[in-house]
Chain A
Amino acid sequence: GAVVSQHPSRVICKSGTSVKIECRSLDFQATTMFWYRQFPKQSLMLMATSNEGSKATYEQGVEKDKFLINHASLTLSTLTVTSAHPEDSSFYICSARPGLGNTEAFFGQGTRLTVV
């Protein structure tokens, strides 16, 4: 299957600082990428849909000024957690699709964010 690379895999930051997470599609172009958040022993919750060259679409309840998403190219989307707080500590996962319709979604390896 196609490969999606997510970096970093783990990050620890201090409260009030910002953290950037990168999601890259390595062997395909992705017009759409998705960002999810996963709490311990729970399923994935969609945060936002990132579209190349346009603004991201955020799910209800997700603060767009806190979780900044940039999809600058067909192979790269970034999620920046601004002014991080301990409650932002979570597992963040991105995914990408080669196209619309009947194509699969491929996922990165996730980023464990810990805010201290």
Chain B
Amino acid sequence: KQEVTQIPAALSVPEGENLVLNCSFTDSAIYNLQWFRQDPGKGLTSLLLIQSSQREQTSGRLNASLDKSSGRSTLYIAASQPGDSATYLCAVWISNFGNEKLTFGTGTRLTIIP
């Protein structure tokens, strides 16, 4: 059974700092990994999708990496801003007999201190 873990569970950093969020998964037989942010009481916003053949993706101040062999992904946020405060979730796509689905991590609650 695929398990996805995110460390740390919560993180507070001063505005302007760069930071890294970690995600690990137990089964390397994934074919995509996706990072999301969730604001309190809201749905999910897709940030980045990394295909299994890729090692990283970039969007603005965000950079996500993927190392399938070690079962790890990181989300790097540069020059953090108060608006980045949210819960960040990583999720892996797995395929089980043709049924594709996402397994979510436990999330990291990020607070950027002005």
Give the B-binding residues of A (Cβ under 8 A): 1, 4, 6, 32, 34, 42-46, 49, 57, 91, 93, 95, 100-110, 112
Contacts and interface: CB of A to CB of B under 8 A. Distances in A.
Interface size, B (range): 20 to 34
Interface in B27-70: 31-32, 34, 36, 41-46, 49, 51
B34 to A, nearest CB: 6
Given A43-B105, A49-B99, 4 more contacts: A4-B43, A105-B102, A107-B44, A109-B42
A108 B43 contact: yes
B99 A104 contact: no
Given A102-B49, A104-B46, A106-B46, A46 B99 contact: no
A107 B43 contact: yes
Contacts of A4: 43
Contacts, number: 55
A4 B43 CA distance: 10
- Tell me the interface secondary structure of chain A in the complex: strand
Contacts of B31: 101-102
Given A1-B46, A44-B104, A93-B43, A107 B99 contact: no
B43 A6 contact: yes
A43 B102 contact: no
